[in-house]
């Protein structure tokens, strides 16, 4: 698993002042996607988040997000575990990717 990709995303977009730039995690994902990342890079990150979610399934605290990834978002405030939040992020990323059968714009 390439945790560097996850760490770069989380520490870069969910830094200690992330709420100044966006009000929700979904808005942060939208900012990330509008930053010029290619659809293939976004899909790869979504896959990495899914893999990491499975690996952290039994974690009861979300303190590892800050310790391991420099992430200041606390999913427990929204009733989510860290692994549930990773799955949510992955879904948000995938939902906004262009469909393979959509014509180019």
Asked if pLDDT for residue 58 goes beyond 50, the answer is yes
Q: What is the number of domains present in the chain?
A: 1
pLDDT (average), residues 62-72: 93
Asked if pLDDT for residue 101 goes beyond 50, the answer is no
pLDDT range class, residue 1, cuts 50, 70, 90: very low
**Which domain, by its residues, includes 90?**
3-95
50 is a domain residue: yes
32 is a domain residue: yes
This prediction's pTM: 0.88
Among all chains, which residue has been given the structure tokens 């959509």?
Answer: 102
Choice between 97 and 92, residue whose per-residue pLDDT is larger = 92
Residues 93, 42 contacting (CB under 8 angstroms): yes
104 is a domain residue: no
Specify the pLDDT at position 26: 95
**Closest CA relative to residue 10, chosen from 59, 68, 50, 84:** 68
pLDDT (average), residues 18-28: 94
101 is a domain residue: no
105 is a domain residue: no
């Amino acid at each position: 698993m390439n945790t560097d990709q996850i760490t770069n995303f989380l520490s870069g977009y969910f830094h200690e002042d992330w709420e100044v730039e966006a009000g929700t995690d979904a808005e942060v994902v939208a900012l990330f996607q509008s930053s010029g990342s290619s659809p293939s890079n976004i899909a790869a990150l979504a896959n990495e988040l899914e893999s990491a979610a499975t690996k952290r399934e039994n974690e009861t605290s979300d303190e590892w997000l800050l310790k391991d990834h420099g992430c200041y978002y606390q999913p427990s405030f929204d009733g989510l575990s860290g692994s549930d939040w990773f799955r949510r992020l992955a879904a948000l990323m995938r939902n906004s990717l262009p469909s393979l059968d959509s014509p180019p714009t």
